[in-house]
Amino acid sequence: MTTTHTALLGDRTVRRVGFGAMQLAGPNAWGPPRDPDAARAVLRRALDLGVNHVDTAQIYGPDVVNDLIAEALRPYPDELVIATKVGGRRDDGGGWIGAARPERLRADVEANLRGLRVERLGLVNLRLMPDGERVPLAEQLGALTALRDEGKLALIGLSTVSADDVRAALEITPIAAVQNAFSVVNRADQPVLDLCRAQGIAYVPYFPLGSAYVGGPQVLAADPAIASVAAKHGVSAAQVALAWLLARYDRMLLIPGTSSIAHLEDNLAAGHVALDDQDLATLDGAKQLGNPMG
């Protein structure tokens, strides 16, 4: 099966394997990295290898990752799309809590603009926190559409949402992307992926190698179905898992994260792994583990 290497994100063409920057902060995306120079080197190498879609958030650090991106990549190439997210914040101990009121969303967009040192964000994903403030979706999207009309962001996406959430959002504004948990070992979000396909919306899976809470890449390597396909192609189980996602939908965009240049290069090489129908049938037998973070 031939894999296309680019796809539309809204009206922008991006490489289908991008880069998720969360791991460039300290543990649990809290505080600075142990080696900031190495983190900046990973970012520069990603762009050297053709990445033009970078996913970040002001709450990573907080501020740490956005500062690293600005330090490493400015002046930004015209083709680079930087995506961020709002809807959550960190408490004093680094915990993740909801922050969905319109004034908070506006403040968080402004914080991302300042940290990244840009006048306009490429994509802002609205993350619906399961235990967050009960603010109507229309009010949250209203805040983002107002910011879009002011020229402070180009595209609006959604994260951690149901199919009903996506349908409701589409009644209010165009949606460029949906970012939910999905992988070869966690296919619970298939109904949302099917809706995105029907609507021509880009789908950006987080935990693309399975959640660390259920074993992550180590579990992939131990799964007989995944291991057999990896051995057939002479690649890693992680590369097979990423290639499986790319084969699932032609507007599937990946943002695997790492703080290692070697892992970055391995992840990007997954875009060149061509799975055939037999491989896909074999991978249908991979054990489903789900995602405890929901």
Taking a C-beta distance cutoff of 8 angstroms, is the pair 148, 154 a contact? yes
Q: CA torsion 218→219→224→226, rounded to 10°?
A: -80
Q: For residue 218, what are its two tokens? A: 């180590």
Q: For residue 135, what are its two tokens? A: 């603010």
The SS3 of residue 131 is coil
Determine the Cα–Cα distance for residues 266 and 195; give it in Å rounded to an integer: 30
Q: For residue 238, what are its two tokens? A: 């992680």
Query: Exactly one of 60, 76, 203, 206 is catalytic; which is it?
Result: 60
Determine the Cα–Cα distance for residues 170 and 244; give it in Å rounded to an integer: 28
Residue in 112, 85, 80, 113 with CA at minimum distance from that of residue 9: 80
Active site residue 213: no
Determine the Cα–Cα distance for residues 53 and 50; give it in Å rounded to an integer: 9
> How many residues appear in the chain?
294
Q: For residue 64, what are its two tokens? A: 């740490």
Catalytic residue numbers, as ranges: 60
